[in-house]
Amino acid sequence: MSTHAPHAPNGPGLARSVTLPATLDEAVAALAAIPAAVPVAGGTDLMASVNAGQLRPAALVGLGHISEIRGWEYLDGHGLLGAGLTHARMGRPDFAALFPALAAAARAAGPPQIRNAGTLGGNVVTAAPTGDTLPVLAALEAVLVIAGPGGARREVPIGHLLAGMDMLRPGEILGHLRVPLLHAPQAFLKATGRTGPSRAVASAAVVLDPARRGVRCAIGAVAPMPLRPLEAEQWVASLIDWSVVTQRGASALAPEALDAFGQYVAMACIPDPPPAEDGAAAPVLPPAALQLRRTVAALARRGLGRALA
């Protein structure tokens, strides 16, 4: 482990020491040695919090020198993706050939300087509603491999972490993500409020799983965590001719079926308010919510259409 000499703080938010471990277990040990230390990968989220005065880390454990989490490998039909993969790396064609929706989300995650530094692990641990990789990971049902003290590793489904059911514990580091290789079309689409790179107003990931004859869809940014419209998934999966689904495509669905899927997904994610109990007029969704529902419907319809094209 190489530890930089303590830095003299130049400002109120700067950490007093920065440790640069070379392995995951060294990073976990560094966190144990300085319990107030905070891990930092690309720093794009962390420094935004420091600059906004929301965070004043006493010490930092930099993850950028841990080569074991900067790439990916194949393992038992899965990709084992390092948490230190940058968005720029995930956007490259060799990665996109295996994980097309994740690559599309990574390409959409902010301007180039952010994609060059920002990592998959940072996106997951920050768990912002607008995190672009999150709906894809939810649709793929990714599993997090978390490193803890004494060389321990434990696995947590992404949905459990995002729902707050099983969080990272103090001293733990997200090392890898286990993502199934589905060998079938996938899509990620993102709507933003303006042109150019910016945060999602809504996003949709659609993946086909021919082995399980399943369609999995997750909608991002409209709720604190990605939403899975399970009934809509099951309904549309029953319409697909799975005998012709290949890595390159599938048989198209009728436009009416794609429209109905979009509506089904949107109603599940942004439902009507419950009817009033006292006989008063039924409450209606405000215009902004109706507009968001239309956006979600369009993203889900186009996402499925693109996956089946």
Ligand X SMILES: Cc1cc2nc3c(=O)[nH]c(=O)nc-3n(C[C@H](O)[C@H](O)[C@H](O)COP(=O)(O)OP(=O)(O)OC[C@H]3O[C@@H](n4cnc5c(N)ncnc54)[C@H](O)[C@@H]3O)c2cc1C
| C-beta of 185 vs 226, nearer to ligand X | 226
> Can you name the residues that pair with 190 across neighbouring β-strands?
203
Minimum distance, C-beta of residue 293 to ligand X, in the bound complex (Å): 22
By CB under 6 A, the residues from 16 to 45 that bind ligand X are: 38-45
Minimum distance, C-beta of residue 225 to ligand X, in the bound complex (Å): 14
| C-beta of 90 vs 182, nearer to ligand X | 90
Number of residues that bind ligand X (CB under 6 A): 31
Binding mask 178-217 for ligand X (x = CB under 6 A): -------------------x-x------------------
State the Cα–Cα distance between residues 201 and 203, nearest whole angstrom: 7
Give the distance from CA 78 to its chain's centroid: 17
Helix/strand/coil percent split, the chain, to 5: 40, 25, 40
What's the start-to-end Cα distance of the chain, in Å?
50
Contacts of 18 (CB under 8 A, 6+ apart): 4, 7, 59, 60, 61, 62
Q: Which SS3 state, helix, strand or coil, does residue 75 take?
A: strand
By CB under 6 A, the residues from 45 to 84 that bind ligand X are: 45-46, 48, 63, 83
Which residue in the block uniquely carries the two structure tokens 């993102």? 190
- 131 lies in the binding site for ligand X (CB under 6 A): yes
- 262 lies in the binding site for ligand X (CB under 6 A): no
Quick one: which of 14, 29, 32, 114 contacts ligand X (CB under 6 A)?
Answer: 114
| C-beta of 149 vs 249, nearer to ligand X | 149
| C-beta of 226 vs 305, nearer to ligand X | 226
> Can you name the residues that pair with 218 across neighbouring β-strands?
205
Which residue in the block uniquely carries the two structure tokens 């419907």? 297
| C-beta of 70 vs 183, nearer to ligand X | 70
Which residue in the block uniquely carries the two structure tokens 């966190």? 31
Minimum distance, C-beta of residue 156 to ligand X, in the bound complex (Å): 12
Contacts of 149 (CB under 8 A, 6+ apart): 28, 29, 32, 171
Binding residues vs ligand X (CB under 6 A): 38-46, 48, 63, 83, 109-110, 114, 117-119, 121-123, 125-126, 130-132, 168, 173-174, 197, 199
